[in-house]
Amino acid sequence: HIFDDSEKASKAVAHEIGALIRQHNQDKKPTVLGLATGSSPKKVYQELIRLHKEEGLSFKNVHTFNLDEYYPMEPDSVQSYTRFMKEQLFDHVDIPVTNYHIPNGTLAYDKIPEFCRDYEEKIEKLGGFDFYLLGIGRNGHIGFNEPGSIITSKTRLMTLDILTKIDAAIDFGGLEKVPKKAITLGIDKIMNAKRIVLLAWGEHKAESVARAVEGPVTSEIPASYLQQHPNTTFILDETAASLL
């Protein structure tokens, strides 16, 4: 779905998420959302906050699981995805603190596999994702599932791709300061979501979007796996769609 600009597109996505939450609230069922960080979803979160403040949308029964976090990473660091999510969304809506989950960047190295299994179990106990909101990296990654990730990949510690580190360098004040690793939700759990929406804005995303949508399904472009998902929409602005 190609929109004139990311503002209109983000509002449409927020309204879809808002309608889903309202429906579940009415049916007295929880809503399980998968969320992403980065610049792409920011305006969606702004609109969700507006829906909460001005139109009474309640997040009391919403459970969220974020895609990823750098490793190692302290939750109050400027680059932390925990801090990002609190600032961009959680601190401004009525979601209970116990309902949102973000991979823990402070774990001891040998505790990571157990944490990852537990993260997936929590998602399974809630019945899996009703909706997953994704961004895309310039190398076609989703979350930190870098090129080479298989479709059945589980939540795990990932070594970051060079292009990912180059794109993150500005946030860390230099390439050598970017963490070498990150914890990411696996492709498997993302593919099990009932509905997936991937956001991409800007010309710098045009190539990975075109390869993901029109190229072969390949581990080299993990977002291309979404071609095999029955209910995925890529939400693009004109420039991100320019190579389609």
Question: By the criterion CB under 6 A, which residues form the site for ligand GLP?
Answer: 36-40, 67-68, 135, 137, 143-144, 164
Would residue 146 show up in a list of annotated catalytic residues for this protein? yes
Smallest distance from ligand GLP to CB 99, Å? 20
**Residue 66, CB half-sphere, CA atoms under 13 Å: how many?**
25
Q: Which is nearer to ligand GLP, 57 or 237 (CB)?
A: 237
Smallest distance from ligand GLP to CB 135, Å? 2
Smallest distance from ligand GLP to CB 163, Å? 10
Q: Which is nearer to ligand GLP, 107 or 178 (CB)?
A: 178
**Which is nearest to 33 in space by CA: 58, 10, 67, 6?**
67
Distance separating alpha carbons of residues 83 and 13, to the nearest angstrom: 23
Q: What is the number of the residue whose Cβ is closest to ligand GLP?
A: 135
Q: Is 63 helix (H, G, I), strand (E, B) or coil?
A: strand
Which residue carries 């579940």 as its tokens?
Answer: 24
**Which is nearest to 154 in space by CA: 194, 112, 198, 184?**
184
Smallest distance from ligand GLP to CB 231, Å? 19
Choosing from 74, 146, 203, 238, the catalytic residue is 146
Q: What DSSP string runs through 131-157?
A: EEEE---TTS-BTTB-TT--TT--SEE
Q: Which is nearer to ligand GLP, 51 or 158 (CB)?
A: 158
Q: Which is nearer to ligand GLP, 23 or 227 (CB)?
A: 227
> Helical H runs in 56-185?
81-88, 112-125, 162-172
Catalytic residues: 146
